[in-house]
Amino acid sequence: MNTAGKLMHNDQIYAFFDVDDTLISVKSMLSFQEFWYERFNDVEAQLRYYADIRQHMHADASWEFMNRLYYQHFKGRKVADVKQCGEAWFQFMHSSCAAFFNPVPLAELRYHQYHGHEIVFVSGSFPALLRPIADFLRVRHILATTLEIKGGIYTGDILAPQTIGEGKVEAIQLFLNATGGDALNCYAYGDDISDLPMLESVGNPIVVKGGRKLEHHALDVGWKIISPV
């Protein structure tokens, strides 16, 4: 968990944003892997990665399992190389993809910033990808997957909390405990059924259309629903 320091006032309102398919129009982790393999030309590693994805990715796939599987393919990568590649990935995507940001959720983010609310990214993606996006949008706080590092090299394992599903709730609770924030005053944005625990943990949940199964639940319980575009 990466935050920019504790705030002094406990009345601060936070808006927690899932990132992939909520704030941006791509799955950052999958897009980054393609970018990485093109840059480093590791054909054998690329074939192993795609074989894993094809075997386990399906409509009802566990995002928690897929998240762990994904980061196993980081084993042996240098932290410095991943950081540099993440920055290059964002520059490439932002300059070449006109619809990189989903305009309606982005407008919601700007609305919160205008009214003095603090934005917090909550994502199963990793800081080397999320930090360039956050810096561009003037977002200070990131709750993301923490990858285990030994000697400047990724081991392929991740550390708790895993910021997927219930792990997002755990990360948010730790964040609010540290900052003194009140979940009932906070907002959360997500698009996938795996975001349901996060949305249920705050007072103001907002669902972005397009993800798996979440929109139907939102209709049943009367949550606000927005389009990505």
Asked if the model's pLDDT at residue 76 lies above 50, the reply is yes
Mean pLDDT of 150-176: 97
Note whether 187 and 169 are within 8 A (CB): no
Backbone φ/ψ region at 162: left (φ over 0), alpha (ψ -120 to 50), beta: beta
pLDDT digits (tens, 9 = 90+) for 212-226: 999 999 999 999 999
Asked if the model's pLDDT at residue 10 lies above 90, the reply is no
Give the integer Cα–Cα distance in Å for 124 and 214. Answer: 17
Q: Using 50, 70 and 90 to split pLDDT, how confident is the model at 1? A: very low
Asked if the model's pLDDT at residue 5 lies above 70, the reply is no
Give the integer Cα–Cα distance in Å for 206 and 68. Answer: 27
pLDDT digits (tens, 9 = 90+) for 112-131: 999 999 999 999 999 999 99
User: Which stretch of 2-6, 20-24, 114-118, 189-193 has the lowest confidence by average pLDDT?
Assistant: 2-6
30 phi/psi in degrees, rounded to 5: -65, -40
Mean pLDDT of 168-195: 97
Domain boundaries, the chain: 14-226
Asked if the model's pLDDT at residue 61 lies above 90, the reply is no
Q: Which CATH architecture has domain 14-226?
A: 3-Layer(aba) Sandwich (3.40)
Q: What is the pTM of this model?
A: 0.92
CA distance to 50, 129, 186, 228, per residue, from 214 (Å): 27, 25, 19, 14
Asked if the model's pLDDT at residue 195 lies above 90, the reply is yes
Asked if the model's pLDDT at residue 46 lies above 50, the reply is yes
Mean pLDDT of 29-44: 95
DSSP string, 97-133: -TTSB-HHHHHHHHHHHHTTPEEEEE-SS-HHHHHHH
- Say what the pLDDT of residue 9 is: 52
- Say what the pLDDT of residue 59 is: 76
Tell me whether strands 224-226 and 204-208 are parallel, antiparallel or unpaired.
parallel
Note whether 149 and 157 are within 8 A (CB): no
Q: Using 50, 70 and 90 to split pLDDT, how confident is the model at 7? A: very low
